[in-house]
Copies of this chain bind each other. A is one copy, B any other.
Amino acid sequence: MSEPRGLGDKQAEETGRSDTSILPRRLSEITHWDIVTDVAIVGYGGAGACAAIEAKDAGAEVIIFETASGGGGSTALSCGEIYYGGNGGTPIQKATGFEDSSENMYNYLMASGGPNADERKIRAYVDGSLDHYHWIVDKGLRYKPSFVATREIIQLTDDCLIYSGNEKAWPYRDKALPCPRGHKGRIEGDNGGPLLWQALSGAVEQRGIKVQYDSRVLALIADEHNEVSGVAIRHDMKEYNVRATRGVVLCTGGFAMNQKMLKKFAPTLAKGNAPLGNPNDNGSGIRMGMALGASVINMTEGFISMAFYPPGRNSSGIFVNANGQRYVNEDSYHTRVAYYSMLQPDSRCYLILHASDDFKPPKFFNPPIAGTGFTLEELEAELKIPAGALAQTMEYYNRHAAKGEDPFFHKASEWLEPIEPPYVALDCSPSGGGYVTYFTLGGLETAPSGEVLNVRGEVIPGLYTAGRTASGVPCSTEHYASGLSVGDATFSGRMAGMAAAGRIPTEASKGCRIV
């Protein structure tokens, strides 16, 4: 096999020669193997790197196949926020004065999974969370023992700990004691992802794990009972058959970049206008699994955001729909606000704020000003909200806010103050010019070990998956929290790597094998 070349695979795509099927190739038709390894990892992002490290550390021979000319995927593009906690607290939580019990974190994550919560995965994630923290730190990532108390989408300083989800918001605060669990690496700006990637890729290199770039995995190779024995890859315009004696781990990310799949499987996310991810987030791994009869779950779910804060005081505004009705507590995590916003008639949503002299629009993705007014009547007219409707909402809200109450949505009292004229309304809706960004959380159904399950709940032998190719701990748009995706991708990557290498007990070994 020749050395990595920059354009091999890309060329193939662009010359229209990328006409291969993602359907499984049959073992009986494979005449020779070009490469043989114990574990083949597909995709060199967060999940893939962690799977590779664990599989290697478990004694397996590992090769990573990556379609791009470099590693990192969406993980390296991300803020690198990771959701850790429980077990009495991480060193950072402890240093900043937070105690965090596993039961408390478990309760929060169960709420954060909504009706789809996977209890076994959440239990494993919580139990392993402190260990995971140390494992990542051991790879070289540094965290500063500091806490950011302001309401941020992401810490832009080199500080670490933050409330990264709905912990303090109703109704979550009644289900679990609020505790901050978002951890960002010690670096200025939105650079936590590159920093995390430096650590993970460093650990991969240090172990001498082979990474084959510009190598797109085209299809799984499986026998007629769908037991997976390897993958077919394309590199430099030629195809190669890879035998993976212990297992294949699909770590190809989600499908935010695939409009066809979004429209079919996640129409609510498709209401957004800005996919968040790398160009290879096209669902290839999910489709390879489906083509083999794997089950896919939570396909409608995702992260979706209208970043209306910071400044935190924007949470003192109210979100209203086309009828001037409130519909969410504005101190919720931005994904929860965006989720409810997308459900409103025509997905219209306005953030109504007091237009103070020093009014500051949201820091990110500044939504257009849809109206201003000294009176609510003026504003209603500009926003085409039925006359009197916004005034009524505001009267009720202000009357209770003055008493520190929000009878509808129980916004925390720190954000409750009457909204005085003059007013400004920001149009946060996708149709009104708001920037609504998303990535996907649905994917292949797996056991906590990363073993892929078919629709009957049976393990597909030889096939593992992790990160956004699987549906994992984060599986609900309504309840998502920052740090869960990278947290889950790295954690589930480790599990799948260990399982594929044969180090942790698997569902298959528990007698759940196809008969």
Enumerate chain A interface residues (CB-CB to B < 8 A): 21-24, 26, 28, 114-116, 224-226, 263-265, 267, 270, 286-287, 290-293, 295-297, 299-300, 323, 325, 343, 386-389, 392, 396, 407-409, 445, 454-456, 458, 514-515
Contact = CB atoms under 8 A, between A and B. Distances in A.
Contacts of A291: 293, 454-456
A297 B265 contact: yes
Contact of A21 (B115, B116, B407, B458): B458
For A264, A287, A388, the residue with the greatest tally of chain B CB atoms inside 10 Å of its CB is A264
Contact of A293 (B265, B292, B396, B514): B292
B514 A456 contact: no
Which 7 residue pairs spanning A and B have beta carbons closest together? A386-B407, A115-B267, A224-B224, A291-B293, A323-B408, A290-B455, A26-B224
A500 to B, nearest CB: 22
Given A292-B293, A386-B407, A396-B388, A454 B267 contact: no
A298 B24 CA distance: 24
15 contacts: A21-B456, A21-B515, A22-B455, A115-B267, A264-B295, A286-B455, A287-B455, A290-B295, A291-B456, A293-B293, A296-B296, A323-B407, A323-B408, A325-B408, A387-B407
Nearest to A515: B21
Q: Is the interface of A mostly helix, strand, loop or mixed?
A: loop
B23 A456 contact: yes
Given A265-B297, A396-B392, A514-B23, A224 B28 contact: yes
Contacts of A299: 299
Contact of A263 (B115, B388, B514): B115
Contacts of A458: 21, 23
Contacts of A267: 114-116
Nearest to A19: B515
Contacts of A293: 23-24, 290-293
